[in-house]
Amino acid sequence: MKRIKNSWRQIVGFLLTLGFILLAFSGYLTTMLSGLMDPMIGIQTIVSERFSNIVTFFTIPREVTQLQAENQALLEEVALLRTEIIQLEQDLRETAILYSLLGFARGRPQETYIAAKVIGKDPSPFLQYVLIDKGSDDGVTFDMPVVTEKGLVGRIDAVTASAARVQLITDPASSVNAYVVEADSNGLIRGSATSDLTIDLVSQDVTLAFGQTIQTSGLGGKYPSEIMIGQVLNVNRLENELFQSASIQPAEDFSSLQAVLVVANFRPSNISPLLEKQR
């Protein structure tokens, strides 16, 4: 009797549960279930958040350390790459300069050159000289002409074993025999304290004009001929003077000289004994 009673309770319990489930799935218990589920979800949310915070609390420090290490590594890599970029840009600039110098040297195959870097400038404000990093050990000797791809720079004034001093054509004591191509006339180029170039001793018979090209004439034997010097800027012609003169826009920017070519196979002629004999 007792067993039957227990079985009935189980069956009723089972049927009630099944009915509850079926009613719930059928949607008849939605209102009741939502009232029951909402607080449960709230509790679930709170518990979940706290758990997440606890997990974060224990896991984040490790990640921060890792991130900091990664960040440091990346910063170091960026710094390294920046240094490489600066180095490459510098190399590129030097290559461009050397490439243009090479182009100039190829255009004049009869001459041999010694490439040199400009390492300093004469400390006296009265003088226009630069120092280069090639000396007698590299074959540089006194009075050799110095050029760049743009044109004439000057001549070697003093030499040590590993360096040399170059007198720029803009130096007040410098004079270069020049040839005005379009006017087919010779003249003498002089430097000045302001680094401006002037062509002087040009015959009054020729017409000097803006933009005319000026090259070395080769007269006097100090410089090879046909090296670009600059262009005529302003002509100074007075009727009562024997010669006319003109200011020149130099082909080379002497304030930013970085590399030069020393013309190695040119032997300058010393004509000063002849001039003294004439006197």
Binding residues vs other proteins (CB under 8 A): 119-127, 129, 131, 157-158, 160, 165, 167, 172-173, 193-194
CB 148 within 8 A of CB 101: yes
**Shortest distance, position 131 Cβ to other proteins, whole Å:** 7
**Shortest distance, position 196 Cβ to other proteins, whole Å:** 11
3-state secondary structure 71-131: HHHHHHHHHHHHHHHHHHHHHHHHHHHHHHHHHHHHHCCCCCEEEEEEEEECCCCCCCEEE
**Shortest distance, position 213 Cβ to other proteins, whole Å:** 28
Please give the Cα distance from 140 to 161 (Å, whole number): 9
**Shortest distance, position 118 Cβ to other proteins, whole Å:** 10
User: With respect to other proteins, which residue has the nearer C-beta, 138 or 208?
Assistant: 138
User: With respect to other proteins, which residue has the nearer C-beta, 100 or 175?
Assistant: 175
User: With respect to other proteins, which residue has the nearer C-beta, 67 or 193?
Assistant: 193
User: With respect to other proteins, which residue has the nearer C-beta, 108 or 121?
Assistant: 121
User: With respect to other proteins, which residue has the nearer C-beta, 111 or 196?
Assistant: 196
User: With respect to other proteins, which residue has the nearer C-beta, 10 or 124?
Assistant: 124
User: With respect to other proteins, which residue has the nearer C-beta, 33 or 119?
Assistant: 119
Residues sharing a CB contact under 8 Å with residue 93, sequence separation 6 or more, in sequence order? none
Half-sphere exposure (Cβ direction) of 111: Cα atoms closer than 13 Å = 26
**Shortest distance, position 160 Cβ to other proteins, whole Å:** 7
Please give the Cα distance from 229 to 107 (Å, whole number): 16
**Rg of the chain's alpha carbons, rounded to an integer?**
45
Q: What residue has token string 């012609």?
A: 237
**Shortest distance, position 167 Cβ to other proteins, whole Å:** 7
**Shortest distance, position 129 Cβ to other proteins, whole Å:** 5
Please give the Cα distance from 237 to 203 (Å, whole number): 10
For residue 242, the SS3 value is coil
CB 181 within 8 A of CB 202: no
Please give the Cα distance from 81 to 257 (Å, whole number): 29
